[in-house]
Structures are given as C-alpha cells and as structure tokens.
C-alpha cells in the first residue's frame, strides 16, 4: 500500500514530468511556428511595400496622362473665336475641368514625393514641370481672349510647346517611379512596361496632334521643320507599337477587357488616328477639309483608349499584388491561429483531470450565451451528474421563457411596422404622405441637408381643383384625387416614389435620372392625367389636368431645400403659363 505522503510525492512527480514534457513540446512547437510565422510576416510586409510601390507608379502615370490630356481642350479653345457664344463658353468649362484634373493629380504626386526621404531632385523636377504648365496655361489664356485673326502662328506654337514641355519635364519622375516599381515588384514587369509604353504612346500621339493645330487653325502649309517633327514622333510610335506586349499575362487568356481594348486600339489609334494624320500631312498647302477643333474631337477618343488600356494594365498588376498581399496576410493569421491552438491543446492536456467538470460547465455557459444572443436551438451537452442535470433543466426552463419572449417581440415588431406603414400612407389615395417625404428629406427648417446622390423631384398640382370641389362637392373631389393617385402609380416605376404632398398637390421623388429622363417621366404622368376624363358615375365624367414643376439636384452640390424650392418655383411658372404643362428648373442652387 502506498502511503499518503509517498502517493502525493508520486503524484507531484508525475505532474512535474507532465509539465516538463509539455513545456518542452510547447517550446519546440513555438520555435517552429515562430519561424514559419515570421516568414509569412516578412512576405506580408514585402507585399504591402510592393502594393504601395505599384500604387505610387500608377499615380505618377495618371499625373503624366492628365498633363497630356489637358492639351486637347486647350487646343480646341485656341481654335475658337471668343464671340463663338455657347461653344466658346462650353470649351472654357472643359479646359477648367481638365486643369482641375491635372492639378489634383500633380498635388497627389507632390504629396507622395514629399513623404519620401532624400528625394529632393524629384521635387525640383516636379516644380519645373508645374512652372512650364503655368506658363503654357497663361499663354493659352492670353491668346484665347483675342480673335483668331490676332493670334500669330508663332504665339500659338509657343503656347502649345510650353504645354508639351511641362509633360516632358515629368519624364524623369516617371522613370524614377518605374525603376522603383521594377525593383520591388519584378513579377509585374511586363504589365508595368506595357503601362509605360501606353503612357508614352498617349503623349507622342498627343504631340503629333498638337503639331497640326497651328496649320489647321491658320490654315497654313506644314513647314519642313514641323513635318520632320511629325515623322520623328511617328517613328517613336512605331517603335513603341512593336514593344507593346501581345498578352501581358498568360493567365489572362479568355479575359475580354484587355484583349478587347487592344483590338480597339489597333483600329482606333494605330488605324484611324495615324491614317488621318497622314492624310492631313499629304494635303499640306491645300484644303485640309478639317479645322483644328474638329480634328481634335476626332482623335481624342483614340487617345483616351490608350489611357483606358493603361488603367486596365495597372489594375491587373495592382490586383495581383493585392491578392498576394491578402494571401500572405491569411497565411500569417492562419499560422498564428495554429500556434494559439497548439498552446490551448497543451494546456487542455495538463488539465485533463478537470475536463469532466470544466467541459460541461463551458458547454452550459455557451448554451446560455447562445440563448442570450437569440440562438434558441439546443446545443450538444456533456456530463451526467445530478448537479449538471439540474443545470440543464434550468437552462431548458430559460429556453422556454426565451422562446415565448421572442415570439412576443416578433409580434410587437410586426405591429410596429404596420403602424409605421399606416403613419406614412395617405388614407385617401394610398400614396406615401408628406410625413414619409419629410422622413427622406429631413427637417428643412434645420441646417441645409446636402444631397448624397443625384435626385429628381416632380411637383404636380391638379388644375382648377377648387372649382371641382365647389361645384360637385368634396366627395367628387376625393374621387378625382384617388384617380390622380392611381394614374401616377401606374406611370411611376420603382425605385422612384410618389407622395401626396398636400391637398391636390403630389410629388414624385426619383434617383439617378437625368433631366431629360426626369422630364419624360413628368410628361408621361401629365399625359396619363389629361388623356382620360375621371369617371365619377355614369352621368358624370370630369376632364382633369395638372401642372408640373421639375427640378434635379446633383449629389454633393445641391440641398433638399434648394431642390424643393426649384421644383415649387417651376410649378408656379407652369400655373402662370396656362396650366396643363410642365416647367423644368434651369438649375438648383
């Protein structure tokens, strides 16, 4: 018989041996797992750096494209007369938008460069590009204020050359980012080289177009010097065309995005645009058949296709690096989870003697948590002692009570929803009521609420409704209002919503419609109302019309209050102009 003291010592010794073996196993597992984990962590950090590098490279390419693209509307503006009216004003707006895009891209690039240490030379080159850009813009603005006859060919070419110089000064910056991208993400070299080639093609193609602006604007013959520049640029384009990869990634076979755009590029830029340039050069000294503005508008879609294909190239590269980044993160987390699971397993092995108590209690605890979380199904249980069975009986009682409470809560929710629907529905017409509209637009008496998406509003008011009420009574008036509501509901499709705004006034709130589509919808409602008389009874049918005010607000620029005011003003104008018509608000300010 083992004495109690000896038995305790043996038990303690066994426990010590078990703990020592477990600790040794834990140390070995921790060492191996840590080594693997650090490898995945390093891959995760590297993929994050690669992703940042490619994103930066994409940013500098976009800046270069923005500077190149700004020349197109500027060239068109230089070919227009300030007295051209709306065409001149519209092109000024296009130039302003292009400049805003360029300034934003250059600011993003400058902020990126400013965060990189020891990169003063790039900042100098970027500043020089901005200086040339500012000079070119100033020259263009000065020339654009004068009549075409007062613009000398040399002044026009100087302004265009300044814009080209701004893009040329970005070339060292682009090359620096390209080199960094190759060092950090060599697996994407083909895609990045393709994107750079497309960026250069876009620039050289734009330069050829710019070289023809002065002859097409004057018009004058193409000088030998200008012809030599065009030939040189076409030589560069031919070289880049041969360097452009046929397929950037074998895994991309069957994907129509890049392949389709490549085919479109062959037809457009390499086919249509270059052929058009050859024709214009061949007609030098005679009638070109095109002016500068028409030429620029014809070739601009072909140049934009180069940008779109470049975006597809970079999107593919960034997507692949991002997937690598996610895979590394997943492996890192999986390794960490396995390490944690190993520790938990070893700890559980040391406490195996307590499992007959701990496990039933943990399961019961989880079952209680599930009940508290709303999961009412019975979960697996363990343990057969009287104490554990009593605990399970108590949990079953709690579950029955929770089921009853949940049923009562569901009934309460259904009742609340029914009351809410009743509160937001007009009892007479079945349309949403004004309270429902105010739920959408908010409290108009508080601070102005800016539209978060493009919205359209149609306000309509039944014409001469008061005489109908006065002559035939309110019962007939109610019949007319219900008929109006039915016709509005028949015409207005989801997701657009119709409301009874008040009295004989209705509102239709739309999302995502252009002003043209919005007016078409309003006209459909107007025709539905005016096209058929309202049948009151067999002996009485009433012709009914309505007047419409239509307004459209843009996301981030207009407020609900301005939208309502604009539609209301347009409605009053429709009333004043004879009723049974619609007026569209010019703008929502």
Angle (CA) 212 217 218, round 5° = 110
- Residue 90 to residues 73, 84, 546: CA-CA distances in angstroms? 10, 10, 36
Calculate the CA 382 to chain-centre distance.
Answer: 52
Hey, what are 417's tokens? Answer: 């929803």
Strands 497-502 and 455-462: unpaired
Task: Quickly tell me which residue has 């190239």 as its tokens.
Answer: 313
388: how many CB neighbours lie within 10 A of its CB? 18
Where do we find the tokens 């092109």? 91
- Check 504, 505, 523, 554 and give the catalytic one: 504
| Known catalytic membership, residue 533 | no
Long-range contact set of residues 399-402: C-beta below 8 Å, sequence gap at least 24: 399/371, 402/371, 402/376
Helix or strand or coil: residue 290? coil
The sign of the torsion formed by the CA atoms of 182, 186, 188, 190 equals positive
DSSP 3-56: -HHHHHHHHHHHHHHHHHHHHHHHHHHHHHHHHHHHHHHHHHHHHHHHHHHHHH
**Do 575 and 547 meet the contact criterion of CB atoms below 8 Å apart?**
yes
CB contact at 8 A, 191 and 249: yes
> Edge to edge, what strands does the sheet with 505-511 contain?
497-502, 505-511, 455-462, 546-553, 582-584
CB crowding 349-368: b at 16 or more within 10 Å, else e: eeeeeeeeeeebeebbeebe
Could you give the CA distance from residue 45 to residue 84 in angstroms, rounded to a whole number?
58
Q: Which are the contacts of 34, defined by CB distance < 8 A and separation ≥ 6? A: 339
| Burial state string for 560-588 with b = 16 or more CB within 10 A and e = fewer than 16 | bbbbbbbbbbbbebbbeeeebbbbbbeeb
d(CA 165, CA 131): 10
Report yes or no: 486 and 469 within 8 Å, Cβ to Cβ: no
Report the alpha-carbon distance of residue 209 to residue 206 in Å, rounded. 5
**Which is nearest to 202 in space by CA: 302, 272, 271, 105?**
302
The C-alpha atoms of residue 284 and residue 220 are separated, in whole angstroms, by 8
The verdict on whether omega for the bond into residue 219 sits within 30 degrees of 0, i.e. cis, is: yes
Q: Which two tokens stand for residue 35?
A: 């080594």
Hey, which residues are catalytic here? 504
């Amino acid at each position: 018989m083992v004495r109690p003291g000896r038995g305790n010592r043996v038990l303690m010794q066994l426990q010590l041996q078990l703990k020592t073996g477990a600790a040794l196993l834990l140390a070995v597992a921790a060492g191996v797992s840590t080594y693997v984990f650090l490898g995945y962590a390093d891959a995760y950090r590297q993929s994050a750096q690669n992703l940042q590098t490619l994103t930066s490279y994409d940013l500098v390419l976009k800046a270069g494209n923005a500077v190149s693209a700004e020349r197109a509307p500027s060239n068109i503006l230089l070919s227009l007369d300030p007295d051209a009216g709306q065409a001149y004003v519209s092109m000024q707006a296009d130039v302003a938008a292009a400049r805003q895009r360029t300034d934003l891209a250059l600011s993003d690039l400058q902020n990126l460069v400013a965060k990189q240490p020891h990169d003063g030379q790039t900042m100098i080159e970027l500043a020089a590009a901005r200086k040339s850009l500012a000079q070119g813009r100033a020259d263009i603005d000065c020339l654009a204020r004068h009549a075409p006859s007062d613009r000398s060919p040399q002044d026009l070419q100087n302004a265009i050359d300044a814009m080209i110089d701004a893009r040329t000064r970005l070339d060292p910056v682009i090359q620096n980012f390209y080199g960094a991208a190759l060092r950090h993400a060599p697996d994407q070299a083909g895609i990045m080289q393709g994107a750079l080639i497309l960026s250069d093609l876009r620039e050289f193609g734009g330069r050829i177009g710019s070289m023809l602006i002065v002859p097409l604007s004057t018009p004058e013959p193409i000088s030998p010097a200008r012809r030599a520049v065009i030939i040189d640029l076409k030589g560069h384009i031919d070289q880049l065309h041969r360097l452009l990869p046929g397929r950037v990634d074998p895994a991309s076979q069957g994907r129509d995005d890049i392949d389709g755009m490549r085919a479109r590029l062959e037809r457009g830029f390499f086919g249509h645009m270059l052929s058009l340039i050859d024709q214009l050069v061949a007609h030098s000294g005679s009638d070109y058949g095109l002016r500068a503005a028409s030429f620029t508008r014809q070739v601009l879609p072909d140049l934009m296709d180069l940008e779109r294909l470049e975006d597809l190239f970079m999107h593919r590269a960034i997507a692949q690096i991002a997937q690598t980044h996610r895979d590394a993160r997943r492996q890192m987390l999986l390794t960490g989870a396995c390490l944690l699971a190993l520790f938990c397993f070893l700890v559980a092995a040391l406490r195996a003697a307590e499992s007959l108590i701990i496990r039933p209690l943990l399961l019961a605890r989880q079952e209680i948590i599930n009940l508290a979380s709303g999961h009412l199904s019975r979960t697996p249980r363990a343990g057969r002692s009287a104490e554990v069975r009593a605990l399970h009986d108590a949990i079953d009682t709690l579950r029955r009570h929770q089921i009853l409470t949940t049923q009562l809560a569901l009934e309460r929710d259904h009742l609340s929803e029914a009351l809410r629907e009743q509160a937001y529905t007009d009892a007479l017409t079945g349309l949403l009521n004004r309270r429902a509209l105010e739920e959408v637009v908010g409290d108009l008496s508080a601070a102005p609420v800016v539209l978060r998406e493009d919205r359209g509003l149609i306000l309509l008011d039944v014409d001469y409704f008061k005489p109908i009420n006065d002559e035939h009574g309110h019962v007939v008036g109610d019949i007319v209002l219900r008929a109006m509501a039915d016709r509005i509901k028949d015409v207005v499709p989801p997701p657009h919503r119709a409301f009874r705004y008040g009295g004989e006034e209705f509102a239709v709130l739309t999302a995502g419609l252009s002003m043209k589509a919005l007016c078409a919808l309003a006209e459909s409602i107007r025709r539905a109302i005016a096209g058929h008389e309202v049948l009151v009874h067999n002996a009485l049918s009433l012709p009914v019309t309505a007047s419409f005010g239509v307004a459209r607000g843009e996301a981030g620029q207009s407020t609900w209050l301005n939208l309502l005011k604009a539609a209301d003003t347009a409605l009053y104008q429709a009333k004043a102009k004879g009723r049974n018509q619609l007026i569209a608000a010019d703008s929502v300010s």
